[in-house]
Amino acid sequence: MKRAASTSDPLWFKDAIIYELHVRSFQDSNADGIGDFPGLLSRLDYLRDLGVTCLWLLPFFPSPLRDDGYDIANYVDVNPSYGTLNDFKLFLDAAHQRGMQVLIELVVNHTSDQHPWFQAARRAPSGSTERDFYVWSPDNQRYKEARIIFSDTEKSNWTWDEVAGAYYWHRFFSHQPDLNYDNPAVMEEVLKAMRFWLDLGVDALRMDAIPYIYEREGTNCENLPETHVAIKRFRAAIDEGYSNRIILAEANQWPTDVRPYFGDGDECHMAFHFPLMPRIYMALRQEDRMPIIDIMAQTPTIPDGCQWALFLRNHDELTLEMVSSDERDYMYYSYSADPRMRVNVGIRRRLAPLLDNNRGRIELLNSLLFSFPGTPILYYGDEIGMGDNIYLGDRNGVRTPMQWTSDRNAGFSRAVPARLYAPVIMDPIWGYQAINVEAQLSDQSSLLHWTCNMIALRKLFHVFGRGTLEFLSPANRKVLAYIRHYDAPDGHSETVLCCANLSRFAQPVELDLAHLAGRVPVEMLGYVPFPPITDKPYPLSLAPYSFFWLELQPGPEAPRPSALPQQNEATEIIMRPLKPSNEVAENPPST
Amino acid sequence: MTPTSSDVDTRQPTPDATAPAPEPTPLTGDLLICLTPLPPEDLEATLKNLAGAFPEQQTAGNGNSNILVAIPDAAPASSPDSVLSTAAPDSSPLRLLHYSSSSTALFLTAADYLNAFKMAQEHNARACILLGPESQTLNPGFVRDLAAALLGSSAADLILPHYRLGPNNGLVNSAILYPVTRALYRQCPRFPQAIDVGLSLRMAERLAMAAQPFTAAGQNDAILWPVAEAASANWPVAEIDAGPRGLPQPASTDLNALLSETAGSFFSDIEARASIWQRVRFYQPGCATPETPFSTGTLPDVSPMLEAFRVAYTNLQEIWSLVLPPQTLLGLKHLSLMPPAGFRMNDELWTRIVYDFILAYRLRTINRGHLLGALTPLYLAWVASHILLTGAGAAPEQHIEDLAATFERDKAYLVSRWRWPDRFNP
């Protein structure tokens, strides 16, 4: 019998609002300067009130933390800094009680070099099962077509291990050796780890770096056919033993190369739409919808039971791998004037600093995030417009403590400030004194309230998570207009016209909505009816960076002809009170 | 002012020797021609040209001459009077005035305009002509035509010469002054900052008033912008063919300093007149420009210019990124990778660069001196591109006209960014 999930809807992920957070960064409960599970549990009510429905936790497993936890030393335990396994269980239950699902990482491609598997492998004889948990070579000349992903720090995908007397393969940091999936034992161990967490009740698994799990000579070692065989095994194991659990693929590839990760509905349930994200920023800066239209045109349809995961920012750099070199340069010029803001092939800034803290831009991009086809993912702190610290190494500048209050340590921890795992943001614009949850909760006009309201609005409609997408092509390219439509199984349908002004100046636009003539657009935030649609171009005026969500409701029915004689306007209708039947009339009629 | 013999009225009784000498009657005339300080031989040549331009006697009813020529006091003792008397004795309509000036500027300066108006007013001139350095190279016919145009019945208040220069002369004007003036003020004079100008009296007065704050602050060599002044007053501006002219050579070959001085003054003037040029919305049809025959000769070596640009591309990224938007920076990156033979800066790119530097000047994005210094290598890149383009057969004037048309088309960009300087733009 399959283990039940916390939700009974197999497509819960299509309507989800995912919130990505790092346990370490969210709330410290024991004043050691590091966030932990008890602290996170104490903040679940905030997350519930925000309206998010699924929490994505960055890796919290035992780790030397040389890659912020993605270098795993033990797949089936909790880093003691974050608490115990029991703390995790308590958190998981509490989240479920509040109607939230939990998504955790399954870092399938590599481990830490401190993992017992690697420590055994480097000492094991060549050709042994233990040795073959990883990919070894006597030289560093194999797989030369494979690119280096962490180009800022690594010069090769091979590193010499003195103990092993051989080179080992790693697509990421040199302290993260790649697992060898050609060894069946590896798959078995990873499946064990996967089942461990699913047995506890975890709702979803994010398969980190899934395109890189196989290597073959003469290829770029990405998206190989064997990868999909492996994913099918993961999926089959989940479907066999669990209900309503999902796999989210992290495949930073072109849309057509991501499509295979959905399989025929027998691989991953969800996958990130990486190429869309930088193009949203490009379209905004260029004030031209074409980058978005272009990438969506290249996005293939996916199986009905699958879903794209959409995001504006995350814990990593704003990746620019899936853009052309000119587009990459443009993005660097546009969003990272200071070279310190760049790392690898991307930009390590948070949402608000990227947009120069412009509230209009922030709301506009969030409106796209919430209305595009897919499941939106919010990065922790972006709901209050948190800033970043580009002077911290690697991607740590976007992983600073959550800013809860204007008190010491932003209310994140009672520890001595110097003990925090990272300094809080403290500049005049984005510092915790100015940007914090407490202040924004008491400010009805805050970004936090706006985000809450938008999430709540989105959750009223299934169309955003489950509907189709049709782009309109108005002459004004600074306006992005599209229609979302959903036919529900119960017969009702939802149609929403979304219109976004990508420009910093007001824009006019005329939309061809003739095929929807007769419908009445109703602005969804204020429930204000707009003029009915006719067969003529529908004019709209958009303020700078503004957007409309207009629900296209059926027009009013024409009144049916009345059976009663028509009364002219001069006729008075005199209402006389009814007399009781036993009352004697004052002037009874004479007989 | 030294009275001449013709001014002394011999019909009057001999003045009493004990009484103070009466003030000499000022010369009067229709036209005042002001010369800037010139070396003796050049002054002599200029005066001969002027004598040749105005040979006829055209006396006014009161017997006074109608063309006054003002020369700086720095004129040498080998007197220009003797030159005039030799070239054209009493029959010449020209009469000399002396005034104080020690200007060595390439352009007409604030002090020049102020002096010109004072003298014009004092001597009841109806109009002024200011001739700048190297005026001896001017075609006498041009000066005569200029005078006729100024004194004619439908005269413009500001008349500028259209010089016929070589394809590689006056490039600061071609690259920046002309296209920007044309786009902003809807005025087409090819040389808005001409070395010679013709002014109505009221135009001279307006320029003198504009000059006074500068001269009062000791900035006698400040540059004024006559076209902008005329546009601000909504007075007509005209242009006449001046033929070839020798250009004054700067004492220093520091292009950075020269460009900074000129562009800095120009950009300041643009900032001051924002309310004027932003209301000028509709453009005239393309200004008629006579095709100027020129001798191509040997192309200048553009290698130093390209090298200067490439070095600046490496060293000035930080400054450029504060001023220029991403699309422009991307264009410069492409430019930096072009091979020398194919080096071409397209007109749209240069237009945006100039407009964004004008805006950055106004916003004081960075120190203005540094800003203008950062413009120099970009200007050199444009010059190199222009030279290579014309060397490949393109007509120089057509290229400049195309460039000016691009500036006109893109004026909306400058206006919108001026009014909303948010740097979050394409």
Half-sphere exposure of B134 (CA within 13 A, CB side): 13
Which residues of chain A make contact with B330, given a CB cutoff of 8 A?
A: 326, 329-330, 333
End-to-end Cα distance, chain B: 61
Instruction: Name residue A511's beta-bridge partners.
Output: A538
Residue A329's domain comprises 12-109+184-459
Q: Which residues of B touch A (CB under 8 A)?
A: 321-322, 325-327, 329-330, 333, 416, 420, 422-426
Q: Please tell me the distance in Å from B325's CA to the nearest CA on chain A.
A: 7
Q: What is the pLDDT of residue A448?
A: 98
Which residues of chain A make contact with B422, given a CB cutoff of 8 A?
A: 356, 504
> A429 and A400, same structural domain?
yes
> A514 and A421, same structural domain?
no
Higher-scoring residue by pLDDT: B77, B387? B387
> A374 and A320, same structural domain?
yes
A79, burial (CB in 10 Å: exposed 0-12, middle 13-18, buried 19+): buried
Residue in A329, A337, A504 closest to B425 by CB: A504
Residue of B nearest to A337 (CA): B321
In this structure, whether the domain defined by B27-247 belongs to CATH 1.10.287 is answered with no
Report, as an integer, the average pLDDT of B131-158.
88
Which structure tokens are listed for A179?
Answer: 């697992």
> A369 and A307, same structural domain?
yes
- Is A329 marked active-site? no
**Using DSSP, how many helices (H) and how many strands (E) does chain A show?**
16, 22
**pLDDT tops 60 at residue B79:** no
Q: Tell me if A590 is assigned to some domain.
A: no
- φ and ψ at residue A205, rounded to 5 degrees: -125, 130
Check residue A33 and give left, alpha or beta (phi > 0: left; psi -120 to 50: alpha): left
- On whether the CB atoms of residues B67 and B91 are closer than 8 A, the answer is no
What residue type is assigned to position A508 of the chain? P
Residue in A285, A288, A505 closest to B326 by CB: A285
Q: Please tell me the distance in Å from B326's CA to the nearest CA on chain A.
A: 5
At which of A459, A480, A506 does a domain end? A459
- Is A250 marked active-site? yes
Tell me whether residues A504 and B424 touch, CB distance under 8 A: yes
Q: Sign (positive/negative) of CA torsion A186, A191, A193, A194? A: positive
> A127 and A162, same structural domain?
yes
Which residues of chain B make contact with A287, given a CB cutoff of 8 A?
A: 425-426
Q: Give CA separation, A461 vs A14, A551, B87, in Å.
A: 12, 10, 97
Q: Tell me if A32 is assigned to some domain.
A: yes
**pLDDT tops 70 at residue B21:** no
B140, burial (CB in 10 Å: exposed 0-12, middle 13-18, buried 19+): middle
At which of A395, A430, A459 does a domain end? A459
The residue among A333, A341, A364 with the most chain B CBs within 10 A of its CB, best to mutate, is A333
Which residues of chain B make contact with A330, given a CB cutoff of 8 A?
A: 326-327, 330
Q: Tell me if A229 is assigned to some domain.
A: yes
- The share of chain B scoring above pLDDT 90, in percent, equals 55
Q: Tell me if A373 is assigned to some domain.
A: yes
CA B156 to CA B108: how far, in whole Å? 19
> A346 and A481, same structural domain?
no
CA A246 to CA A40: how far, in whole Å? 23
Hey, is A21 helix, strand or coil?
Answer: strand
Q: Please tell me the distance in Å from A84's CA to the nearest CA on chain B.
A: 46
Q: Model's pTM, two decimal places?
A: 0.83
Tell me whether residues B326 and A330 touch, CB distance under 8 A: yes
Residue in A288, A333, A504 closest to B326 by CB: A333
Residue in A288, A329, A334 closest to B333 by CB: A329
The single residue of A208, A215, A388, A551 carrying the catalytic annotation is A208
Tell me whether residues B330 and A504 touch, CB distance under 8 A: no
CB atoms within 10 A of CB A477: 18
Q: Give CA separation, A239 vs A5, A195, A386, A389, in Å.
A: 12, 11, 39, 42
CA B332 to CA A338: how far, in whole Å? 18
- Max distance between CA atoms of chain B, in angstroms, equals 85
Q: Give CA separation, B59 vs A523, B25, B82, B90, B149, in Å.
A: 82, 17, 21, 11, 19
Q: What is the pLDDT of residue B288?
A: 54
Q: Tell me if A558 is assigned to some domain.
A: no
- On whether the CB atoms of residues A380 and A26 are closer than 8 A, the answer is yes
CA B358 to CA A338: how far, in whole Å? 23
Rounded mean pLDDT for each run of 10 residues along chain A, 591 residues in total = 85 97 98 98 98 98 94 97 98 97 96 97 95 96 93 92 97 96 96 97 96 95 95 96 95 92 96 96 97 96 96 93 93 92 92 97 98 98 97 92 98 97 95 97 96 94 96 98 95 95 97 96 92 97 98 75 49 44 39 34
Q: Among A237-241, B279-283, B422-426, where is mean pLDDT lowest?
A: B279-283
- Max distance between CA atoms of chain A, in angstroms, equals 128
CB atoms within 10 A of CB B378: 27
At which of A432, A459, A486 does a domain end? A459
Contacts of A297 by beta carbon, 8 Å cutoff, 6+ apart? none
Which structure tokens are listed for B76?
Answer: 């040498």
Q: Please tell me the distance in Å from A508's CA to the nearest CA on chain B.
A: 16
Residue in B321, B416, B424 closest to A285 by CB: B424
The count of structural domains within chain A is: 3
Q: Tell me if A258 is assigned to some domain.
A: yes
Q: Tell me if A521 is assigned to some domain.
A: yes
A25, containing H or E segment: helix A23-26
Which structure tokens are listed for A493?
Answer: 């349908």
> A392 and A338, same structural domain?
yes
Name the residue ranges covered by the structural domains of chain B. Answer: 27-247, 296-419
Look up the ipTM and state it. Answer: 0.77
CB atoms within 10 A of CB A268: 29
The single residue of A71, A178, A215, A250 carrying the catalytic annotation is A250
> A164 and A70, same structural domain?
no
- On whether the CB atoms of residues A344 and A150 are closer than 8 A, the answer is yes
Hey, is A178 helix, strand or coil?
Answer: strand
> A509 and A382, same structural domain?
no
Comparing C-alpha atoms, which of B73, B78, B128 is closest to residue B103?
A: B73
- φ and ψ at residue A121, rounded to 5 degrees: -65, -40
